[in-house]
Amino acid sequence: MRVSVNRGRCVGSGSCALAVPEVFEQSSKDGRVVLVTETPSAELHEATEEAADFCPVSAITVTGP
């Protein structure tokens, strides 16, 4: 799995960082998402997929197995 985020699209809802803090953080400067890792470990894949699905502006892209 590889994760990317579109910070320009992010509206700073923070739901991804709440759901999977191992993968997503919220910037203290602009409130937008900061990617902690592009390659989450296997046990985080399901939660990362869900965070991508729940992002209100589809700013999270997940690719690969």
Q: Which residues bind ligand SF4 (CB under 6 A)?
A: 5, 10-16, 24, 26, 32-33, 55-57, 59-60
Token pair 């590889």 in the structure block, residue: 2
When the beta carbons of 26 and 48 are compared against ligand SF4, the nearer one is 26
What letter does residue 41 receive in the DSSP assignment?
-
Contact criterion met (CB below 8 Å) for 3 and 64: no
The CB density around residue 37, as the number of other CB atoms within 10 Å, is: 13
When the beta carbons of 15 and 44 are compared against ligand SF4, the nearer one is 15
When the beta carbons of 26 and 43 are compared against ligand SF4, the nearer one is 26
